[in-house]
Amino acid sequence: MRLNINGETKDNISASTLKELLEELGIIPGRVAVEVNAAIVKRAEYDIFRLKDGDVLEIVNFVGGGSKTVMRNE
């Protein structure tokens, strides 16, 4: 399966659910938020949320930044 994750195309994804994908990527679910095709997926639904070919994902977490961070919308 091919997915677009954080702006990068990833081929050969074997995970079928979001929970499996996070495991595959080595991401701890407790500290991230995930959008699939611009809609937030609730953490409680990661294990039942089925991914499909061509899905566009955004996986975000918290980084250093105060009242100074300047970054255009990625």
Partner 1 sequence: MEDKLVIQGIEFKSRLWVGTGKYKDFEETARAIEASGADVVTVAVRRVNITDRKSENLLDFVDPKKYKILPNTAGCYTVEDALRYSRLAREAGVSDMIKLEVIGDEKTLFPDVIGLLEATGILAKEGFIVFPYTNDDPIMAKRLADAGAAAVMPLAAPIGSGLGIRNPYNLKIILETINLPVIVDAGVGTASDVAIAMELGCDAVLLNTAIAGAKDPIAMAEAMKYGVLAGRLAFRAGRIPRKLYATASSPIEGML
Q: Which residues bind partner 1 (CB under 8 A)?
A: 5-8, 10, 25-27, 30-35, 40, 42-43, 58-74
Q: How many CA atoms lie within 13 A of 15 on its CB side?
A: 19
Cβ atoms of 18 and 51 within 8 Å: the answer is: yes
Cα radius of gyration rounded to whole Å, the chain = 13
Instruction: Give whichever of 53 and 63 is closer to partner 1, judged by the CB atom.
Output: 63
Q: How far is the CB of 50 from partner 1 (least distance, A)?
A: 19
Give the residue with the Cβ less far from partner 1, 39 or 53. Answer: 39
